[in-house]
Structure 1
Amino acid sequence: MTVTVRRATLSDADQIAGLLGQLGYPSTTPDVEKRFTLWLDDPFSAVLVAEHNERVIGCLSLHAVPYLEKTGHWARIESLVVDEAARRTGAGSRLILAAEKLARQWDCSALEVTTLRSRLDANAFYQHHGYDDRCTLSARYWKELPG
């Protein structure tokens, strides 16, 4: 299967919405378009898509954050999903490699991604690509901020 990776455009919103639904985040096309415009305005954010036969089969969102305590940036993969019918075709690997290349261009010294422990395939995928599970080194705290 020939898979190419490129930056997403607003015209990809409908297909990205379908992929986000597979990831467990049902979204409408207008919702994705609205969110996507925020990413377009940020020079340290990107949405990448994997394409096969002019069909979007995967997407990855990535942003970089500058360090305060040292020079440079670190990057975070915010989301990564490959269409269920296109998994194990190399699309996810191509997206990860493209994200790593872009993070290096942004002068990032590290790339972070989080996934639920229950997503066994995702955990194995990231480990296969050289990502270390660092949850034993630090805690991750989260607080919802209601409107």
Structure 2
Amino acid sequence: MKKADLAEMIVLPENLIMTQQALSFTPEEMQIRQADEPDALALLVAELGYPTEASQARERLIDIKRAGDSVLVAAHNSKVIGMAVLHRTRFLHRPPDGRISTLVVFEKYRNFGIGTRLVEAAEAVFREWGCERVEVTSGAKREAAHRFYNREGYIEQPKRFVKPLSRLAS
């Protein structure tokens, strides 16, 4: 899907207009906070190649918060420019694990340290939650993301088994 098509699906909030001037900031000028703007979240998910309507993002944000999980956003001058979706997996036999299921920064804002700031904030939340370790989910073909996670101290552990639940209904 083209970005022009996304503009028809999602009404861009006024505070998401990005200019060249916005590219001259430092990560220290950025705020990391809890998400409350589903339109911006939908655009960030679309940046990963998963078109999502703002209404879907709103419902999912509510569900994530209701489950006790979290969505952090990076904002600069009230513009949401990145996000991290955090989950906690609880076990009977040991402390919980944290999981970053989504980490994305708008492309023109990458390589400014925003992803690192989001990961640091996520790790702080996971420590507050009593998590023992953190897992990151990343698509197999996202090599730049894999290099980023390696730089952040994450180690690839490639064994995972997945079964789509839609097959159970058939």
**Bigger share in helix:** 2
- For structure 2, the 5+ residue unaligned runs are 1-24
- Please list the CA deviations of residues 90-110 of structure 1 after superposition, one character each: whole Å capped at 9, or x if unmatched: 111110000000000000000
1:3 aligned onto 2:30 = yes
Identity, in percent, stands at 36
1:77-116 superposed matches below 5 A: 77-116=100-139
Normalised to the residue count of structure 1, the TM-score between the two structures is 0.91
Question: Following TM superposition, where does structure 1 have runs of at least 4 consecutive aligned residues deviating by more than 4 angstroms?
Answer: none
Partner of 2:73: 49
Q: How many angstroms does 1:117 deviate by?
A: 3.0
Tell me, yes or no, if the aligned pair for 1:3 and 1:90 is still in contact at 8 Å: no
Higher fraction of strand? 1
Higher RCO structure, 1 or 2 (CA under 8 Å, sep 6+): 1
How many pairs are equivalent? 140
Task: Check the 8 A contact 1:49/1:56 in 2, yes or no.
Answer: yes
Give TM-score, length-normalised by structure 2. Answer: 0.79
User: Aligned letter for 2:133?
Assistant: A
Shift of 1:134: 1.5
Rg comparison, structure with higher value: 2
Structure 2 CA distance, aligned partners of 1:33 and 1:109? 30
Runs of at least 5 residues in structure 1 that lack an aligned partner in the other structure: none
Deviation at 1:39, TM superposition (A): 1.2
Q: Distance in 1 between matches of 2:139 and 2:66?
A: 29
In 1, Cα distance between equivalents of 2:129 and 2:152: 20
